[in-house]
């Protein structure tokens, strides 16, 4: 199979690129390296089945890569990923997440591509949902509270119409909060990675709000398995989570157990556009993709901490 992967040098995307190549497929990676890192692909860079393209997903050149490669499938992970950035700069958010998507879907239609697997956001598209509706299911209406969630929600409709008009089937994986090795501990997103790095270095952890905001944390290797399964099966929106709520304070507690040290915590203001509680039902993922989460939070945090320690050993602070 020939596959285009956008965001393929990023946190999730680089793990997925490795898995796609390991499965014997050919891959063309499009990444502007705004959050991705070239070194994430060091292990596969020399593969004869991999081509790398340093491009913005909304550029004409990115569309030409798709048309020239004529992929069987698109794996769309390249995006503006920050809720905070989307609220500060909604135009940037829309340019990347909406225009970038349409740019590549139009090229896919021209190229005879028959399948798209899209990274949606289970933590933002549904908005504030009454607690009795947790865990969230795919039949819930989208009522996003942030521009980021809005662009992800709009993407579902573009995908639906492209399926109806051009026969390009899709799976929109509404991801929980993904964590694991290669997640940027210095970015705005990825609270587990950020807090783990700060605790390793003896720095304070800033908790937005009261720390009782909950998320559904899913390990990156589990997410990659779902993307690979979705290349072959499934259709429409599919939540990708564990069905378990974990608060920010619970994350800090688990990190403290793993590291054997208590965090230094400072509370800041709650973020605009942030959803209070999230957990996602994995039932449809099991039915359509044969997928279940396999890595529990303590195990995943231990793997992430080991990775961060290795990174620090390679590039120690001075």
> In the beta sheet, which residues pair with residue 136?
280
Annotated catalytic residue 126 = no
The C-alpha torsion from 193 through 196 and 199 to 205, rounded to 10°, is 50
The rounded distance, in Å, linking the Cα atoms of 10 and 34 is 9
Q: Could you write out the DSSP letters of every residue in 132-182? A: GGPSB-TTSPP--SSHHHHHHHHHHHHHHHHHHHH--EEEEEEE-EEESTT
Q: Which of 148, 162, 179, 217 is catalytic?
A: 148
For residues 50 and 25, the answer to whether their CB atoms sit within 8 Å is no
- Provide the phi-psi class of 209: left if phi over 0, else alpha when psi is between -120 and 50, else beta: left
Q: Is 3 within 8 Å of 71 (Cβ atoms)?
A: yes
- For residue 87, what is the enclosing H or E element? helix 83-88
Spatial separation of the C-alpha atoms in residues 57 and 112, rounded to whole Å: 19
SS3 306: helix
* Six token digits for residue 141: 């209406």
DSSP per position, 261-297: S--EEEEEPPPTT--S---B--HHHHHHH-------H
295-298: Cβ within 8 A, 24+ apart: 295/219, 295/221, 295/222, 297/217, 297/244, 297/246, 297/254, 298/254, 298/257, 298/258
Active site residues: 148
């Amino acid at each position: 199979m020939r596959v285009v992967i956008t965001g393929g040098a990023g946190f999730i995307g680089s793990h997925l690129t490795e898995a796609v190549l390991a499965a014997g497929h050919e891959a063309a990676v499009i990444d502007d390296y705004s959050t991705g890192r070239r070194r994430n692909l060091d292990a596969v860079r020399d593969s004869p089945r991999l081509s790398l393209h340093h491009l913005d997903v909304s550029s004409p050149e990115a569309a030409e890569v798709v048309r020239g490669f004529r992929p069987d499938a698109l794996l769309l992970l390249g995006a503006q990923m920050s809720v905070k950035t989307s609220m500060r700069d909604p135009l940037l958010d829309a340019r990347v997440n909406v225009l970038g998507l349409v740019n590549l879907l139009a090229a896919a239609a021209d190229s005879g591509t028959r399948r798209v697997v899209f990274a949606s956001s289970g933590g933002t598209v549904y908005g504030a949902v009454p607690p009795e509706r947790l865990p969230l299911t795919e039949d819930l209406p989208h009522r996003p509270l942030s521009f980021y969630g809005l662009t992800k929600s709009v993407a579902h409709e573009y995908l639906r119409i492209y399926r109806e008009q051009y026969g390009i089937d899709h799976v929109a994986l509404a991801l929980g909060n993904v964590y694991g090795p290669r997640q940027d501990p210095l970015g705005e997103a990825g609270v587990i990675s950020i807090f783990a790095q700060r605790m390793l270095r003896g720095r304070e952890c800033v908790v937005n709000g009261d720390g009782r905001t909950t998320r559904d944390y899913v390990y990156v290797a589990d997410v990659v398995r779902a993307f690979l399964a979705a290349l072959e099966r499934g259709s429409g929106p599919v939540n990708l989570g564990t069905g378990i709520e974990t608060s920010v304070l619970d994350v800090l507690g688990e990190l403290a157990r793993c590291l054997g040290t208590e965090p230094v915590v400072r509370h800041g203001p709650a973020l605009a556009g942030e959803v209070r509680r999230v957990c996602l039902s994995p039932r449809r993922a099991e039915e359509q993709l044969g997928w279940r989460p396999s890595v529990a939070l303590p195990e995943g945090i231990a793997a992430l901490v080991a990775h961060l320690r290795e990174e620090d050993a390679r590039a120690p602070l001075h």
